[in-house]
Amino acid sequence: MHISDGVLPVGVTLGCAVASVAIAAWSVRRTGEKDLPKVAVITATFFVASLIHVPLGPTSVHMLIPGLVGVLLGPSSFLAIAIGLLLQSLLFQFGGLTALGANTLMMGVPALACGFAFQKLKGHGPKRHMLAAALAGGGGTVLSALLLALLLTTGGEDFSGVARLALLAHLPVIAIEGAVSAFTVSFLLRVKPELLRAGSTPFSAEAS
């Protein structure tokens, strides 16, 4: 689901870049030093998961896992996704540097939203945790696909059809990521439940 360089109007590209830098700075401030190893591991997971992709015009279809990243990292999720996308752009030319801001917003904002939603919905008990994780995992991909469609429509009529096709193409991904997120949370509840606290940086507080 990477947007290629040159697809979006210059104004939209610049606006996305500015917004991404601002949110990334916020994410950095809420990432504590003891969270860095966890952020590094999840960044690597995101990097690898979204490498295998199927080209689809000016975009692509692949695993995204923004919801799962948000569940595991909370406010740090935007930083992790920004780093992962930057490395993909530099090493494999996925998306491109000028579209980096748009791609980061497209996946980072859903990660933040789903991380926040998971913390509110998880309640007590494994079933609630798994349900909240499934909703976050699938919801993250839904939000990313909707943002992709919105951004592509700003590129003109030529891309409106691609935007609709991209939404349909990601329906199986939505189901898969919901299941993967539920399984991951279920496993972590048994072996290391503290990883589901979204780090030491809750959405309402500054990192220390």
Residue 55 lies in a domain: yes
Residue scoring higher pLDDT (168 or 116): 116
Selection from 19-28, 156-165, 170-179 with the highest mean pLDDT: 19-28
Residue 164 lies in a domain: yes
**Position 202 pLDDT exceeds 70:** no
Residue 203 lies in a domain: no
Complete DSSP assignment for 72-123: HHGGGHHHHHHHHHHHHHHHH-SS-STTHHHHHHHHHHHHHHHHHHHHHH--
pLDDT tens figures, 91-149 = 887 777 899 999 999 999 999 999 999 999 987 888 999 999 999 999 998 899 888 88
> Which CATH number fits the domain that encloses residue 98?
1.10.1760.20
Residue 208 lies in a domain: no
Contact 120, 74 (CB under 8 A): no
* Number of separate domains in the chain: 1
Query: Sign of the CA dihedral 7, 11, 12, 14?
Result: positive
Residue 205 lies in a domain: no
**Position 160 pLDDT exceeds 90:** no
Selection from 51-55, 77-81, 94-98 with the highest mean pLDDT: 77-81
Q: Give the domain extent around 22.
A: 10-192
Residue 59 lies in a domain: yes
Residue 96 lies in a domain: yes
Residue 200 lies in a domain: no
